[in-house]
Amino acid sequence: MKNTDAISAFLALGQESRLNVFRLIVQRGDAGLTPSQIIEKLGIPNATLSFHLKELTQANLLLVERQSRNLIYRPNARLVQDLSVFLLDNCCGGKSCTPSKSLKKVK
């Protein structure tokens, strides 16, 4: 993954409403959601949602498919996986990231 691709995704997720939309769609997985279902769950105005969906789609975070008169938005699982790999690449200097037993959780 290129830095520019990661930056594009993170910029798209860097707005609270877009992050909420993305997380909701991720929860549905391959089933996806229509804009009307998203509006029903999050209460975002239609025009605002349209803008956010466009931004998430342009960042390649969402895939969109037309089914009859409906648009179905699904997470781009491959990109999400690639982002995770990108973030954790060379994590912990190549050593295991499993914390040792001597470390205590901070509350």
The answer to whether residues 85 and 1 touch, using CB atoms and an 8 Å cutoff, is yes
Q: Sorting pLDDT into bands at 50, 70 and 90, what band is 91?
A: confident
Q: Sorting pLDDT into bands at 50, 70 and 90, what band is 87?
A: confident
The reply to whether 9 falls in a domain is yes
Looking up residue 81, the CATH number of its domain turns out to be 1.10.10.10
What was the pLDDT predicted at 94? 66
Count of domains observed in the chain: 1
The reply to whether 79 falls in a domain is yes
Q: Which of 42, 54, 37 has its CA nearest to residue 16?
A: 42
Q: Sorting pLDDT into bands at 50, 70 and 90, what band is 106?
A: low
What was the pLDDT predicted at 93? 72
Q: Which domain holds residue 44?
A: 3-85
Average of per-residue pLDDT values in the chain: 89
